[in-house]
A and B are shown apart, each in its own frame.
Chain A
Amino acid sequence: MKILIIEDEKELVRAIKNFLETEGFLCETASSYFEAEDSISVYNYDIIILDLTLPGGDGLNLIKLIKDTNRQAGLLIVSAKNSLDDKIKGLDMGADDYITKPFHLAELNSRIKSLARRRHFEGGDEIIFNEIKLNVNSGEVFINGKVIDLTRKEYEILLYFIVNKNRVITREAIAEHVWGDDISYAANYDFIYSHIKNIRKKIGLNNGRNYLHSVYGMGYKFSER
């Protein structure tokens, strides 16, 4: 799957590119409005990540071009302007999702994969990890083919982990993903632990293995170990 990253901050591009490449995506980059224009006009991409603040022009204008030349591409807008204006404008113009800087790489990954799924680039509605199977349409979780009962939040957390498997995920990233940006109003993240405990328990009760490991001082990692 081919991704175009349109972003002028080189270090950020490098971090995103490295991250996405280890996830198995093919990445190209454009660091200015004109470079982006060229790439979009010539090539086709599956997903385009667009930073709205670009040297040489307003990123919003690129959306129209993307819609003309890369109709099939999923478009994810990245912006530091946490202004509702831009968000609404961008989504109105045909962007598929919007993420605010700074973001967790795991969150970016989760958004891209969700975009890819919606566009049926990646194996449709089912996500399978060994004995665990998630149906993203129905929101059901199966262990060894048997449905288990997870709450909405537990499901969201599990999905987030599986999408970002083999990576250390911080509590902050999970909190923001499931509860939203405003969660910073909470004093601590202990409540995440209780959700994770429940997920482990429910999977364990259905003879699933425990893939959810605590990583000392940082967060959690979903892996076979």
Chain B
Amino acid sequence: MSARYVWRRLLQVLPVVAGIVTVGFVLVHLAPGDPVLAIAGQDGDAAYYAAMRAKFGLDQPLLTQFATYLGNVIRGDLGTSVAQGRQVTTLIAERLPATLLLTVTALVVSSISGVIIGVFTARRHQQTADTAVSVLLLTTYAAPVFWLGQLSLIVLALWLDLFPVQGMVSARSSATGLSRYIDIGWHLVLPVSVLAAKETAVVARLLRPALVEQLALPYARTARAKGLTTRRIVWVHALRRALLPAVSIVGARVGHLFAGTVIVEIIFGWPGIGRLLLTAIQSRDHPVLLGLFLLIAFSVIIANLITDFVYTLLDPRITYA
């Protein structure tokens, strides 16, 4: 992977970024209604609304607003929340750690469990266990997230009392240090499991046929004939090649995890950006909506870039000029 490739790939991203900023801006500003009404309440008078509008620059022509906005985005300034009067970047930054904790954990967990299940089913190809697991995976994949979430909340948290019901920390404990981390970890289990379940299915379902295919190839047979253990063949040789399709979708999975996290955060009361999104929708907080939209889109772009680079490194067959 040459430096030139890296640069070219990075340059390609620029128009995409510009396009996304435009899409978000146009969309939010085409919508009916006026964000000022959302914050100013029902009892103000016309002068009051006009003052608020001027304060947030909402009285400027759309093009001016866009130019200002673009300039600000480039400088890393996403504007001020209309509803809360605080920097959008601050609002996001306050919640991003919670969301990242959730999504990154889910990404790791689902990757590992997806690979394990994929290998398990590929090795038991055609056996009852394979079929059973495949059906289970497909069902998990088909079930709506909120369904899995509510079900696990009621059964595992309420009835069996195995996990906490809501939030990231226990409201009654003001624990610090290690016990606080344990508390957070405990709260993390259910939301991560729900979020990771579907991704696990995606990875496993992608891996299984690729692995089956690899194991049927001549080199695998040769290796076995040479006395290598099946385990070694699977984990060392076949897996490396079979993983490629799964690796190629990591970027997209980041996008799905962010989407899933909105629902999961609402159900489990997890204090992340999904909750901020919901509040922004209710108060029609344009800058926050735009900021979140950009954040998610940029995350996906970055994840895709990294994926591309990793993919290039993993797959010796691909060469880029």
Q: Do A and B bind each other?
A: no
